[in-house]
Amino acid sequence: MNPTHNIICIIMDKRIIAIKERLEGDINIVSIDIEDQGYMHKGHTAHTEGKMHIWVEIVSDDFIDMNPIQRHQLIYTILSEELEDDLHAISLNLMTSSELDNSHNHAGEKK
């Protein structure tokens, strides 16, 4: 295995942990899942420069009374430093705990 690849993986893990900690420090989070999706962008300039592509799912009741754009803006504001530095792309799935419960309740329904 390529030792450089191992170092890159460790750095990515540390950056994802830092992003998670920043989000948890600014939002009351019920659950959070962050996935490095850099593997989907191999060969792209941003990937070869070590910039991150991540997918984030957050469940937080801080999102109550916020529309989807406001929710995204909140996350972009919290992660503004990362977005200026090494976070190239972020995909967001943001919901309240009741929205999560509703999606689970409807998932088993047949129409």
Range of the domain at 25: 3-107
Percentage of residues in the chain with pLDDT exceeding 90? 47
Number of other residues whose CB lies within 10 A of the CB of residue 88: 19
CATH of the domain at 18: 3.30.300.90
Confidence of residue 103 (pLDDT cuts 50, 70, 90): confident
pLDDT digits (tens, 9 = 90+) for 25-59: 999 999 999 988 765 555 555 445 556 788 999 99
Q: Out of 10-14, 28-32, 86-90, give the one with best mean pLDDT.
A: 28-32
Written as one letter, the residue type at 25 is G
H-helix segments, 27-66? 45-48
pTM above 0.95, yes or no: no
The total number of structural domains in the chain stands at 1
